[in-house]
Structure 1
Amino acid sequence: MFENFKRSWCRRSLKDESYAWLFEPYEGDEAVVFDTETTGLNTKKDEVLSIGAVKIKGDKILTSESFELFLKPSREISVESIKIHHIRPCDLENAIEPVEGAKKFLEFVGNRPLIGYYLEFDMAMMNRLIKPWIGVNLPNRQIEVSGLYFDKKIELIPQGNIDLRFDTILRDLNIPRMGQHNALNDAIMTAMVYIKLQHITKLH
């Protein structure tokens, strides 16, 4: 009830009616897993450098329908930042303007549910790009994989501390880490985590 009211209230703030479909109930069987690489972890000041996303349908990761692009930063990337995301200035030679990238992302995602690891951060970064020109944050349903993992793990160790680091989750689920660290590979690994968790009743 509250969720419907919230969506209805947000819908009134939509500046561009051509995006009204974002608020329509999703009736398909796909979801989009996505990840971002950014200049830092400050959602108010840092910038999105790349977006990687992949669609999933049931138990299948649709790698043929993946999405990856680089966005132009407003200032030079620091050396400290490069050490974290490994995106060099030469990797951004064909990068596009942030708003153009956000529009392409919306076209890819549609009104499908969004899945991610530390999704709150990625959503905040994307909403900073999207809200100024459509007037609202993305209303898509959100699914956090670390939350799904926690819910299954806590049944085994109700009094324990659960390690929710991404590498720990991958090891526990016996999912191999893909070689290169980038937004698309991280999205694909997160999709693997999500699908595996759908079929596990309890974790050991």
Structure 2
Amino acid sequence: MNPFAFLSSLGIDRPPLDDDQRRRLRRLPTAPHLDSRPLHAQRFVVLDLETTGLNVERDVVLSIGAVLIENDAIDLSRQFECTLRRRLKSVTESVLIHGIAPSALAVGTAPAEALLRFMEYAGDCVFLAFHAPFDQRMLGRALKDELGYRLRHPFLDVADLAPMLFPEALVHPGGLDQWIQYFGLDMSRRHHAAADALATAEIALILFNRARRTGLDNMAELGERAARWQRARRAVQHSL
């Protein structure tokens, strides 16, 4: 007998939001802009998603892990972790890597409620993630599908900020594991949303300290510098 036979579909049943959920959705704060405030004054939410795969059009979010950075510190008392209720047709390699048991998916939080709770937690933050475009697109699609909500929050990509601010590391292109090793961080658990978010947050604090020492203590300037760095990198790649 296939132990995953009860996961017979992709979990796309979407009951309408109830009155309380609609009220909570309307109360979500307006997304911020990257402005001139210094880094220590900005509220960051460091996000990591575990998904069924890497296809941003087809795969779905399985779990959300996040930590909060405020006043140049990680607030460990306010971490976010949630497994979404899913019924999968098959267990993919990504699911096995994440180690999320089918039983955990079966009793997880309804996707709409999980995403609403997460956006209430996120509030008016700037999001940070490692390979942020993937998380941004996956989260944006999930919010649109489940809540009819358009994600407008700014994202900064730690995978770009790290080699931009530490070119001497010669890590780029590199993954989260390589940067954990380079900075000598002690991370015993990986491929788990909450643990990966915490690792990314610790790297982000190191990057913000380097940014300040190079005169980048401004959200708008850091975002613009990162955008220029990305454009320059793409131009080099296209010329090869």
- Give the deviation of 1:196 after TM superposition: 0.9
CA distance in 2, matches of 1:79, 1:18: 36
When structure 1 is superposed on structure 2, of 160-169 and 65-74 the one drifting more is: 160-169
Alignment of 1:134-153 (within 5 A): 135=148, 137-153=150-166
> Contact 1:153–1:162 at 8 Å: present in 2 too?
no
Q: Which ranges of 4 or more aligned residues in structure 1 deviate by more than 6 Å? A: none
**Match 1:109 to one of 122, 142, 152:** 122
TM-score normalised according to structure 2 size: 0.68
Report the counterpart of residue 188 of structure 1 in structure 2: 198
CA distance in 2, matches of 1:81, 1:120: 18
Alignment of 1:1-204 (within 5 A): 18-19=26-27, 21-23=29-31, 29-132=42-145, 135=148, 137-154=150-167, 156=168, 162-200=172-210, 201=213
| Shift in alpha-carbon separation, 1:55–1:131, aligned structure 2, 3 A | same
SS in 2 for 1:51: strand
TM-score normalised according to structure 1 size: 0.79
> Contact 1:77–1:89 at 8 Å: present in 2 too?
no
Give the partner amino acid of 1:30.
Answer: R
Question: Percent identical across equivalent pairs?
Answer: 29
SS in 1 for 2:30: helix
- Give the deviation of 1:119 after TM superposition: 1.2
Please give the root-mean-square deviation of Cα atoms over the aligned residues, in Å.
Answer: 2.7
Once the two structures are superposed, what CA deviation does each residue of 1:3-39 show, in whole Å capped at 9, x if it has no partner? xxxxxxxxxxxx9981563245688632100101011
Once the two structures are superposed, what CA deviation does each residue of 1:119-140 show, in whole Å capped at 9, x if it has no partner? 1111111111112465553111
> Contact 1:39–1:77 at 8 Å: present in 2 too?
no
SS in 1 for 2:104: helix
| Shift in alpha-carbon separation, 1:29–1:184, aligned structure 2, 3 A | same
Once the two structures are superposed, what CA deviation does each residue of 1:46-91 show, in whole Å capped at 9, x if it has no partner? 1111000111112211111011111122424415333222111122
CA distance in 1, matches of 2:165, 2:190: 29
> Contact 1:119–1:144 at 8 Å: present in 2 too?
yes
Structure 2: gaps spanning 5 or more residues: 1-21, 215-240
